[in-house]
Structure 1
Amino acid sequence: MTNKSIPTLYEWAGGMPVFEKLIRAFYDKVVLDELLGPVFKHMSPEHQLHVAHFIAEVFGGPKLYSGGEGSHAAMIQKHLGKHLTEAHRQKWVQLLLATADEMDLPADPEFRSAFVAYIEWGTRIAVINSNEKEVQMNPDEPMPKWGWGEPGGPYQAP
């Protein structure tokens, strides 16, 4: 049985406008970064929007990414052969979390725990796959779904 009064991470963050604004501001930093800029300078203008929609969907938002922009398997394929390093991953995480702070994403410990957990998990998967030439994966692999985890919902002040 689920508690319908607990919002999704997507809802708690503020919905799609927040995710699109977050990722736009984040990539403004990425392209200027000495380490990450060369990796991302050739990305298409739609890349930022696709990343925002992917993360939003993972956090319980609408199926904009899987409904027409791509699939989980397609996202995995985009990382193949990119040869990302742990330094790339750490910088990506650092810049995204700094941008989340600047944008005043919810700062309650439960939300941030879930947010950071997904970003850590996803970036580690990206690094692993980026050092592969091929990944055998079901093309219909479902999108990851991320929730509140152990806390079970957002922090509520007494």
Structure 2
Amino acid sequence: MDAEPTLYDALGGMPALRRLSDVFYERVLADELLAPVFANFNQRHVEHVAVWLAEVFGGPEQFTASLGGHRSLLHSHLGLGIRDEHRRRWLDLMSAAVGEALPDSPDLHASVMSYFEWGTAIAQEVSQDPVGTDLGEPGPTPRWGHQGLAT
């Protein structure tokens, strides 16, 4: 019996994740509520998010190798002060972007959005700490599969 493909492969690999990141950030930067949260946004962010998602969903470990891994991602959220309404709006925009940019599959949509639900809760929690906070060693970049967090 063949193993189930990773989410990375099922979604269409790096081209699909770049498309998702592009579609999503177009929406975010045009959004009245979220645009101020991304005031220091630069275009490299779009690519970094795609590289992060590739690693999380079972693809190449390029975020860890080149961009600082899990610790770096968490540190990028320090001091943002993400509120509940920011998180809800972010999830709404991401769900719409997933629907537009990724394969039309309710199962894949649910798997991807379960990661974003989980990850945005962590990002919101970390965002309450001021810049410069020592978050300790968060461990390796998490891996997310069709059934959720891989152990």
Alignment TM-score, normalising by the size of structure 1: 0.86
Which of residues 51, 59, 62 is equivalent to 1:61? 59
Show the counterpart of 1:153: none
Answer yes or no: is 1:115 the counterpart of 2:112.
Answer: yes
Q: 1:137 and 2:147 equivalent?
A: no
% identical equivalent positions: 39
Q: TM-score, normalised by structure 2?
A: 0.90
Question: Partners in 2 of 1:121 and 1:55 — Cα distance?
Answer: 13
Q: Which amino acid is 1:136 matched to?
A: L
**Matched positions, count:** 146
Gap runs ≥5 in structure 1: 151-158
Task: Confirm or deny that 1:22 pairs with 2:45.
Answer: no
User: Shift in Å at residue 135 of structure 1?
Assistant: 4.5
CA shift at 1:109, angstroms? 3.5
Other-structure match for 2:11: 13
Listed as ranges, the gaps of 5+ residues in structure 2 are none
Distance 2:71 2:136 in 1: 7
- Give CA deviations for 1:54-83 in whole Å, capped at 9, x if unaligned: 011100011121110221011111111110
Alpha-carbon shift at residue 38 of structure 1 (Å): 1.0
Range 32-41 or range 106-115, more displaced: 106-115
106-115 or 22-31, which moves further after superposition? 106-115
> What residue in structure 2 maps to residue 106 of structure 1?
103
RMSD (CA atoms): 1.6
* Aligned equivalents of 2:105, 2:22: Cα separation in 1: 23
| Larger Cα-atom Rg | 1
